Structure formats: C-alpha cells, structure tokens
C-alpha cells in the first residue's frame, strides 16, 4: 500500500486571463465606456488540469513557450488565483523563478528580509541567517544595489539563496537552474539534492530535457493550457521530444498556423466546455458532486464582470454622492432633503420655490423645535439680498404682516433656506448689528433654516413705514 502523503493536489484547475482589446483609436474610445469589459477577450491559459504530487517526489513540468508552465507554478505558489477548480497544498511553498518574485526597487538585502518576513521568520532568525544567505548568493557588494540593476543570473542566485535558507516543504524551481553560471548551478543542484534526500517535494519547470530526466520522478507535459501527458520521464519525455522535433521541422508559416489554431482553442474555451469535459470524464459522479461542480463553476462565471448586486450598489452610491453634493451646496440639511425631497429638488434643480423649513423640526441636528408662537407671528416673507426685491417682498407681505410690524412689538422671523443674516437685515432695512443686539447670546456665525430670530422693534416699525411709503408711491404710479 502506498503510504505517501499527497503534497499538491489539483482538481479541474483552469486559469482565464482577460486580454485587453488592441489599442487602435476605435477600441480606445470603446474601452472608455466599456465598464463591463465586454470588449475584453477571455484567454484560457490553463484548462481543466488535474494531478497529484506526493511527498518526496520531484515532478518536471515541460512544454513549448506559452504552454502555461509558469501560470501553473504561480497558482501553486499562491501568487495568482485559479479561475476554476481546487488546489490543495500540504506544507510551505517557496518559488524561485528566473524572472519573478522579486521587488525590483528594493535591494537584494531588502528582498531577503521581505521574503523571510513573509515566510514567518522572526527578526532574530533573519539576522542570524542574513550573512549566510548573502554568502551563498555570491552577490558580494551588489547585495545593497536595487534588484532592477541585476542580471537574470544574479536574480536567480539571490532567489535560490533565499529559497534554500527558507527550508520550505515544497520547492518550485521555474527555469532558475538554467540562468546561473556553472559553479552556482552546481552548488544549487547540491542543495536541491540535500532537499530531496530529506524527502521534500520539488516542482521543476524547465525546457532542458537533460535536467528534467536527471531530476524528475514524473513529468507533466503541458500544451497550450492542457495536460498532454502525465507519467514517468521514460514515457513522457520521448513523446514530447517527438512532438517538439515535428514542430521545429514545420515550415515557419505552418508553425504559425498551428500556434494560431491552438490559441484560438484557448480563446474559444468556456465554462460550459469545462463542465461538459468534467461530466464526460466522470460519468458516475454523484448528483451532489455534479451540482457542486456546476455551482462552483457558476460562481466563477464572469467573475471579472459586475454582478447585479454590485451594479445596484454602484448605482446607489452614485445617487447618494450626487444627493450629498446637492445637500452640501444648499443650506438644507440631509434630514430635510430626505423628508421633503420634492421641494428640495425643485429648489436645487429647478430653482423654484425655496424649501419650507420642516414644521416642528429643527435643522441640522434633527431636534424638535417648538411650533411658531401665535402671539408673536412668524415673518413668512421671502428674503432677498438686494433692497429692491426686499421692498417688493415687503409689499407682498403687507396684508399679512404690516400691521404686526408697525406695532412696537418685536417680530420673530423664521429663517428659510437660502437666508443669510445680511439678507434678513436688508429685507427689514436694518443693520446686522441691531439683529445681533436683539438676540443676545445667539451665535450668528451659522444660521439654519427653521431658526427663529427676533427682529428689533424700532427698526421693524421703520421698515414697515418704508414699506408702506413704497406701496403708496407704487399706487400713484399705477
């Protein structure tokens, strides 16, 4: 009985990338309004991949350029997420790729620190291992230079040194053995051998069949995103070599035709095709499992597009943003705008009548205010900034309030939306200071709709007189 533990298990793994539309001017204009990315094309870099890798195994991954080898190693190392399927990883994974995994703007030393922290090493452990890692990397004084200045061989040396000192359970080596110089490659191989003897798992991505043959217990051959073969090196390598030789011997135009056809298959792939493949390969799958697969795939469907719920949330946020902007530029409070949305919108958008302050409710804090006092009637005249409008307004309101104004009592004015202290003072033909004096202790730095203000008696009477005079004049002229 095989007692080996499964270290990596992939089930119906797929990876879909969205290809951006070509950048001609027609597409550029379209892309600006293409919120749902409808012009983007789906490209399936991996399609329905399933395999298992056990404890202590070294599995080689081979295939032509663009076959999906790096995409697969990036999914297994957790750098990118798969589109469908499951990946089960039992243990810590560390990846060394010739061209990936480094922060290019950081120095070699900073990258060592960053990776060590990501692996959960403490500051003390990092300090203890730092010199050892730097020495293994052979980078000498270059360790403090930004990684973007390194050659690919130098990057591989740094990556490999970090990885072997992290001591992971699963090591992914993506083309890293082919870029260093011979002494470094020999040193790296020795470390990998030690690693293997400890019964750890290695995923080795390489174009070099000799390296694959030397190291691998099993080989996965990927071709344009799908597994063409998975088995012992003796089985798979000859099949792949035969295919690679056939491909190389094709005339250039036939090579191009073959590539175009294969890429088209990757573009035409879909979740429906994946589902059909799964049900065909596993006809005895239980109804429950089938539903699970179908549900899982449905969830992944169009995952880069906005769902209905997201669209609704987006629409709601947009409306709220516009509404709050209108509230911000008006003198109304949010509560008022919501309670009287029509008059608020009329006032803001159609520039019609100002919004009435809410009866019995104060302004900003939404606190209750007492209703207007009947023995001290509230001035309901429309306040305008210029004196002419103010006097016209006085005329209009004469019938309702001139007698009250001409009395020697104080008038109480209820502030309306759009009023300022200056405009109120103007409309009564009095000074701002006199209003302030008549309302001791009131902070007039901000006035709110619904706020009640005493208008001083003397000037009030004067305002009424002026108002009446204006009316008489008007009467003569008519």
243 binds ligand ATP (CB under 6 A): no
21 binds ligand ATP (CB under 6 A): no
CB of 100 to ligand ATP, least distance (A): 10
63 binds ligand ATP (CB under 6 A): yes
70 binds ligand ATP (CB under 6 A): yes
Please select the residue that binds ligand ATP; options are 71, 107, 137, 463, rule is CB under 6 A. 71
CB of 68 to ligand ATP, least distance (A): 4
* Radius of gyration in angstroms for the set of CA atoms belonging to the chain, rounded to a whole number: 39
Binding segment (CB under 6 A) for ligand ATP, from list 59-67, 177-185, 194-202, 373-381? 59-67
CB of 215 to ligand ATP, least distance (A): 17
Burial class (CB in 10 A: 0-12, 13-18, 19+), 82: buried
Please select the residue that binds ligand ATP; options are 7, 69, 218, 275, rule is CB under 6 A. 69
348 binds ligand ATP (CB under 6 A): no
| Residues β-bridged to residue 89 | 8
CB of 107 to ligand ATP, least distance (A): 27
In which element (H, E) is residue 127 found? helix 123-137
Closest to ligand ATP by CB, 248 or 399: 248
Distance CA 275, CA 296 (A): 10
Distance CA 158, CA 178 (A): 14
Distance CA 70, CA 74 (A): 6
Are 463 and 394 in contact, with CB atoms under 8 Å apart?
A: yes
Question: Where are the alpha helices (H) located in 167-199, listed in sequence order?
Answer: 182-197
17 binds ligand ATP (CB under 6 A): yes
Please count the other Cβ atoms lying within 10 Å of the Cβ belonging to residue 477. Answer: 6
Distance CA 157, CA 139 (A): 8
Burial class (CB in 10 A: 0-12, 13-18, 19+), 271: buried
Please select the residue that binds ligand ATP; options are 11, 27, 31, 66, rule is CB under 6 A. 66
155 binds ligand ATP (CB under 6 A): no
Structure tokens at 148: 């973007």
177 binds ligand ATP (CB under 6 A): no
> Which residue, among 126, 158, 131, 130, has the nearest Cα to 142 in the 3D structure?
158
68 binds ligand ATP (CB under 6 A): yes
Q: How far is CA 197 from CA 58, 149, 200, 201, in A?
A: 11, 35, 7, 10
In which element (H, E) is residue 94 found? strand 93-97
Closest to ligand ATP by CB, 79 or 448: 79
Please select the residue that binds ligand ATP; options are 37, 43, 326, 395, rule is CB under 6 A. 43
Distance CA 376, CA 443 (A): 22
Please select the residue that binds ligand ATP; options are 3, 22, 65, 478, rule is CB under 6 A. 65
CB of 222 to ligand ATP, least distance (A): 7
Closest to ligand ATP by CB, 147 or 220: 220
Torsion sign (Cα): 208, 209, 215, 221: positive
Binding segment (CB under 6 A) for ligand ATP, from list 60-68, 254-262, 371-379, 454-462? 60-68
Binding segment (CB under 6 A) for ligand ATP, from list 63-71, 82-90, 250-258, 435-443? 63-71
CB of 178 to ligand ATP, least distance (A): 11
Residues in the site for ligand ATP, rule: CB under 6 A? 17, 19, 43, 45, 63, 65-71
């Amino acid at each position: 009985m095989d007692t080996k533990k499964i270290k990596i298990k992939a089930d119906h793994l797929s990876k879909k990338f969205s290809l951006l539309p070509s950048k001609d001017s027609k597409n550029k204009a379209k892309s600006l309004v293409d919120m749902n990315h409808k012009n983007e094309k789906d490209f399936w870099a991996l399609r329905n991949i399933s395999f298992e890798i056990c404890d202590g195994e070294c599995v080689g991954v081979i295939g032509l350029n663009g076959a999906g080898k790096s995409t697969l190693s990036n999914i297994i190392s957790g750098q990118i997420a798969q589109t469908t399927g499951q990946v089960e990883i039992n243990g810590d994974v560390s990846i060394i790729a010739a061209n990936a995994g480094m922060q290019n703007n950081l120095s070699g030393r900073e990258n060592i620190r960053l990776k060590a922290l990501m692996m959960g090493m403490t500051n003390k452990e990092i300090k203890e291992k730092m010199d050892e890692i730097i020495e293994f990397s052979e980078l000498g004084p270059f360790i403090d230079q930004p990684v973007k200045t390194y050659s690919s061989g130098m990057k591989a040396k740094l990556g490999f040194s970090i990885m072997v000192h992290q001591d992971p359970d699963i090591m992914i080596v993506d083309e890293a053995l082919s870029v260093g110089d011979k002494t470094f490659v020999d040193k790296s191989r020795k470390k990998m051998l030690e690693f293997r003897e400890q019964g750890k798992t290695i995923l080795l991505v390489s174009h070099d069949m000799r390296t694959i043959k030397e190291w691998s217990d099993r080989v996965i051959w990927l071709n344009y995103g799908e597994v063409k073969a998975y088995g012992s090196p003796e089985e798979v390598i000859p099949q792949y070599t035969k295919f690679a030789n056939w491909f190389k011997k094709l005339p250039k135009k036939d090579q191009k035709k073959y590539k175009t056809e294969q890429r088209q298959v990757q573009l035409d792939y879909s979740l429906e095709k994946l589902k059909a493949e799964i049900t065909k390969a596993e006809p005895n799958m239980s109804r429950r499992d089938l539903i699970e697969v179908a549900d899982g795939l449905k969830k992944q469907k169009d995952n880069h597009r906005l769902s209905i719920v997201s669209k609704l949330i987006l629409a709601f946020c947009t409306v709220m943003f516009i509404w709050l902007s209108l509230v911000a530029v008006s003198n109304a409070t949010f509560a008022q705008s919501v309670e009287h949305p029509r008059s608020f919108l009329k006032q803001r958008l159609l520039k019609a009548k100002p919004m009435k302050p809410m009866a019995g409710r104060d302004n900003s804090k939404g606190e209750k205010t007492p209703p207007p006092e009947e023995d001290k009637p509230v001035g309901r005249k429309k306040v305008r900034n210029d004196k002419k409008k103010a006097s016209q307004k006085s005329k209009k309101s004469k019938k309702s309030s001139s007698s009250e104004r001409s009395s020697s009592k104080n008038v109480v004015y209820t502030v309306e939306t759009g009023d300022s202290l200056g405009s109120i003072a103007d409309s009564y033909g009095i000074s701002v200071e006199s209003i302030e004096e008549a309302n001791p202790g009131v902070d007039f730095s901000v006035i709110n709709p619904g706020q009640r203000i005493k208008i001083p008696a003397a000037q009030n009477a004067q305002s009424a007189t002026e108002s009446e005079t204006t009316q008489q004049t008007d009467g003569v002229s008519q």
